[in-house]
Amino acid sequence: MDRQNSDDIMKFLDGMASSDDVLFGFLDEGNHSPEDYNFAAGDESEVDNETTDCNSEENRKFWQEQEQLLQATLYRTSSIETKIRQATKEALKVVKSKGLVCVCRRPVTDGCRSCLRGEVSRRLREAGYDCAISKSKWRSSHEIPAGEHEYLEVVDKSVSKKGEIRVVIELCFRAEFEMARGSDEYKRLIGMLPEVYVGKTERLKSLIKILCTAAKKCMKDKKMHMGPWRKHKYMQAKWLGTCERKSVSPVSETEEDMFPVAKQRVSMLNNGLFGTGMGRPTAVAVV
C-alpha cells in the first residue's frame, strides 16, 4: 500500500475539508438514522412478519448506536490534538503548494504514500513536534496473519504530570476500514470517518473497537467470511502494538534546490486540498 501511484494519492488528497466544514458536515450526517433493511413482501405468516419486523428493528438500533458511539468518540478532542491537527493541515498545504517528489529507488510519478509520510513528518519536526515514522510489525498467530504497518506518531512531553502522550497520525485512516462488499449501513458508518486521523492512542483504541464490531456484524448479516486482516486484534496490531520509530532528517536548502517544483508534478494536488469530494465530507483530522 505504501507505493501507490499518483492517481491513488490524488484521490486521497482530493476533497479534504477544513476542520469546521467537517465538524458540521459530520454532525449533520450523524443526525439521520440509518435506513432499515428492505424486505421483499410475500405470503409469510403473521408470525414470520413479526419476526422480520423484530430483526429489522434490532438491526436499526445496532447501527444507530454505532453511529452515536462513533460520533461521540470523534467529537471529543484535547488541546494537544487540536495543535497537532492544525500543524498537520499546514504541512499538507505546503505539500500541495510545492508538490511531492518521490525520492525512492524506484520513483513513482508525482510521489508515493511513503514519501508523503516522510514529508509531513519532516514539516512537523520543523514546526517543533517530536514526529517520527513508526513501523509496527507482528508475527502470525492462530488468529491473525503476520504483518506490518507504517504511520506517523507525535510524542508530546509538555505536560509533565500526564507523562508521555502519543498522538497517532494516519494519513489514510478511512481507507483502512473500507470494504467493497460492505452493507449500506457499514459504508455509511465508514463515511463518517475522517480521511486523516490525528488523535491520541486511547481514542484510536475506542474507534477500532467500534469499527471492528460493525465489520463483524456486517459480515455476519451478509453470511460472509470475515478476513483475519479485518479482525480486532489485527487492526490493534497496526497502531497499538510494538513499533519502531524512525525520524526523518531535515532537508537542507541545497537538497531542496535539487528537486525544483515542476508544474506537472502538482497535478495530483490541484483539486483543492480542503474542498469536498465524492459527495461526502472528509477531514484532515479527528473532530
Average confidence (pLDDT) over 198-211? 96
Does 46 have pLDDT greater than 60?
no
| Per-residue pLDDT at 191 exceeds 60 | yes
Q: What is the mean pLDDT of the chain?
A: 75
Provide the 3-class DSSP secondary structure of residue 201.
Answer: helix
Q: What is the pLDDT of residue 96?
A: 83
Q: What SS3 state is found at 169?
A: strand
Alpha helices, H only, the chain = 6-13, 19-30, 46-75, 79-98, 113-126, 184-191, 201-221, 232-240, 253-258
Lowest mean pLDDT among 45-54, 142-151, 272-281: 272-281
Rounded Cα distance between 125 and 197, Å, is 18
- Name the one residue in this structure whose C-alpha cell is 512531553: 157
pLDDT of 60: 93
Q: Which tops the pLDDT comparison, 163 or 133?
A: 133
Gap between the Cα atoms of 132 and 152, Å rounded: 6
| Residue 36 reports pLDDT greater than 70 | no
Name the burial class of residue 166, with classes exposed (0-12), middle (13-18) and buried (19+) by CB atoms within 10 angstroms of its CB: middle
Residue 71, pLDDT score:
94
Q: Which residues contact 281 (CB under 8 A, 6 or more apart)?
A: 17, 21, 22, 25, 26, 29
Position 257 pLDDT exceeds 50? no
Read off the pLDDT of each residue in 278-284 and give the average, rounded to a whole number.
41
Q: Which residue has the higher pLDDT, 7 or 218?
A: 218
Instruction: Give the pLDDT confidence score for residue 158 in this predicted structure.
Output: 82
Domain extents for the chain? 6-35+46-249
Mean pLDDT of 119-142: 94
